[in-house]
Amino acid sequence: MPILSLTDAYTLTVEALTANGTLPAAAGSVARALVAAEADGQAGHGLARVPSYAAQVRAGKVDGGAVPRLIQTATASLRVDAAGGFAYPAVDMAVDAVAALARQMGTAGAGIHASHHIGQAGLVVERLADQGMVALVMSNTPAAMATAGGRRALLGTNPLAFAAPVAGRAPLVIDMALSLVARSKIVAAQKAGRPIPADWAVDADGNPTTDPAAALKGALAPIGGPKGAALALMVEILCGALAGGRYGWQASSFLDAQGPSPAVGQLIIAFDPTAFSGPDFAGRMGELVQAIVADGARLPGDRRLAARAQAQARGLEVPAALLEELQTLTAGG
């Protein structure tokens, strides 16, 4: 496959988005996030998103000219209006403001509304952990998953990520969606003519199914059964009811150019460890990490860090068809 340097991938993404109606500043924010996800081995949140993003800007589903707006609503609380644009510029604005406010107050949070796809949520909290913060981020997403005992998709896969600084190494990052499997795995099984495990999804009547076509008409199963469904419901409440995003069943797809803006919500919370445990938090985290490694376990995020190091050294392998599509987009088509 063709190989692009990280710099070239960033430049190509910016050019593709700006040629299709995205402001340069917003395109830069999106490109940084997509290239970083691609480098981390998270291709589903990487360069493959550029064509659908560009199509949504052309269709007006995403406002490529949107400029997010931030207001401080209370001593340690922020509200960010993504204004129907991409989530990434709003997230960038929120991360910078939350970090500064948490240093003053010990804890700070930002709710984002009228937003879009957050991408690799772990990148958001990692940026805060790089600044010494313990951080949480979550987003609700278009409906794909049923509530516990439910039959139809009401909740999104609702990603949730956590990060904490660790002395002597990269932050510890935990990043997960709350469905048992990604919808893309079911699509792949359908294309291959293979059945799926019966615990992956339910059909339109709420019954477990091994038929991927029936699963795609039904709902994904939550990770951990009723407990995962309850976690997804918590994210829905915090990002929908609290932050002001549309609920999952009200949000349009992130993947196509049909309909209005998804207008989902995100919530970012940062804790300054020195306000709670003094200056030795990162050292204590180092002790915890060492104990896990000594037990022979793999830390969350280790594969991501290895993929990142390889991408920085060798560049990104990009499928030829995708590269050709990105190059075509730079001409505005």
DSSP state, residue 237: I
The verdict on residue 85 lying in a domain is no
The sign of the dihedral angle between the CA atoms of 276, 278, 284, 285 is positive
Residue 74, number of CB atoms within 10 A of its CB: 9
The verdict on residue 263 lying in a domain is no
Across the range 53-68, mean pLDDT stands at 97
How confident is the model at residue 333, as a pLDDT? 67
How confident is the model at residue 30, as a pLDDT? 98
Across the range 75-79, mean pLDDT stands at 97
Q: What is the pLDDT of residues 199-246, one digit of tens each?
A: 898 888 888 999 999 988 888 889 988 999 999 999 999 999 999 999
CA 255, distance to chain mean position in Å, is 14
The long-range contacts involving 187-192, CB below 8 angstroms and separated by at least 24 positions, are 187/212, 187/216, 190/216
The verdict on residue 318 lying in a domain is yes
How confident is the model at residue 288, as a pLDDT? 96
Inform me whether the pLDDT recorded for 115 exceeds 80: yes
Residue with tokens 């987003």: 139
Inform me whether the pLDDT recorded for 190 exceeds 90: no
Q: What is the pLDDT of residues 248-269, one digit of tens each?
A: 999 999 989 999 999 999 999 9
The verdict on residue 19 lying in a domain is yes
The verdict on residue 53 lying in a domain is yes
Report residue 136 as tokens. 């949480």
Across the range 43-48, mean pLDDT stands at 91
In the structure, what pLDDT confidence band is assigned to residue 286 with cuts at 50, 70 and 90?
Answer: very high
d(CA 19, CA 112): 27
Residue with tokens 């956590």: 162
* Domains in the chain, number: 1
The verdict on residue 116 lying in a domain is no
Q: Is the pTM of this model over 0.75?
A: yes
Q: What is the pLDDT of residues 302-333, one digit of tens each?
A: 999 999 999 999 999 999 999 999 999 999 76
The verdict on residue 12 lying in a domain is yes
Whether the Cβ atoms of residue 124 and residue 136 lie closer than 8 Å to each other: no
Q: Provide φ and ψ at 76, rounded to 5°.
A: -130, 25
Provide the mean pLDDT of the chain: 94
Residue among 269, 236, 246 at smallest CA distance from 137: 269
Strand ranges, E, within 86-168 = 107-115, 134-139, 160-166
The verdict on residue 319 lying in a domain is yes
How confident is the model at residue 278, as a pLDDT? 86
d(CA 292, CA 112): 35
CATH of the domain at 47: 1.10.1530.10
Domain, as residue range, for 23: 1-59+301-333
How confident is the model at residue 216, as a pLDDT? 84
How confident is the model at residue 5, as a pLDDT? 97
How confident is the model at residue 183, as a pLDDT? 75
